[in-house]
Every structure is written in structure tokens, then in C-alpha cells.
Amino acid sequence: MQKASSLAVTGAVVCCSALLGCSERATVRPEARGGTMPRDEVLDIASRAAVAEGYDLKKFAAPKVTFDPEAEQWWLFFEGVVEPCPGNHFHVVVDGKTGKASVRHGA
């Protein structure tokens, strides 16, 4: 009985690890973990994050992209083109290790 219980626990751990691993691979490419995420991928991640926050990217110029090697972060600055006015811009910061993005709204 103890052997069956141990086998069940091992199976559960393997399944959870596999699911978590697949989930991570689906959202973060392996090279992103080393801070060498390709620029095209950074642009894609930032664009998806901005759209998810409600931004219409047709109303913004192509972003100015910079990389901070110490923090391993990509900074993308989107500036509005329709009507230049205060607050018509935003930043997206993409973590070069994890591929996670955060949108910082203009003020």
C-alpha cells in the first residue's frame, strides 16, 4: 500500500512539473531567460501587453526601444501620433529574463 501511495505522489509531481514546464515554454522562450531575448520577440510581447491594456497601436508611432543590460530590461516608449498632448504616450517594460511585460501609462 505504501508503494502505491509513493507512486501516486511521484506521478502527481511529474504531471505538475510537466504542466508548469509546458506553460512556461509557451510564454517564454529559452533564450529569454538569459537576457538575450530577440528584439522582434520583445516588440511582440510589448505590443500584446499594450493592446491588452486597451491601447490602439495605430494611434502611436513605432516604439523607441532601449535595453538596460544591468537590469536586463527592455524599455519601449510609445508616443501618440494622432494629437500630441500631455499623457499621449506610455512605456512597456519587458523583463529580459522572464519575458513578462508591464505597461506604464503616460501622465
Question: What is the per-residue pLDDT across 14-47, written as a single tens digit (0 to 9) for each?
Answer: 333 333 332 222 233 434 444 578 999 999 999 9
pTM metric for this prediction: 0.65
> Angle at Cα 79 formed by Cα 73 and Cα 83, nearest 5°?
165
CA dist., res. 45 & res. 39, Å (int): 10
CA dist., res. 103 & res. 69, Å (int): 20
Question: What is the per-residue pLDDT across 80-105, written as a single tens digit (0 to 9) for each?
Answer: 997 767 889 999 999 999 999 999 99
Domain boundaries, the chain: 30-105
Residue type, 102: S
Residue 85 is predicted with a pLDDT of: 78
Question: What is the per-residue pLDDT across 43-82, written as a single tens digit (0 to 9) for each?
Answer: 999 999 999 999 999 999 999 999 999 999 999 999 999 7
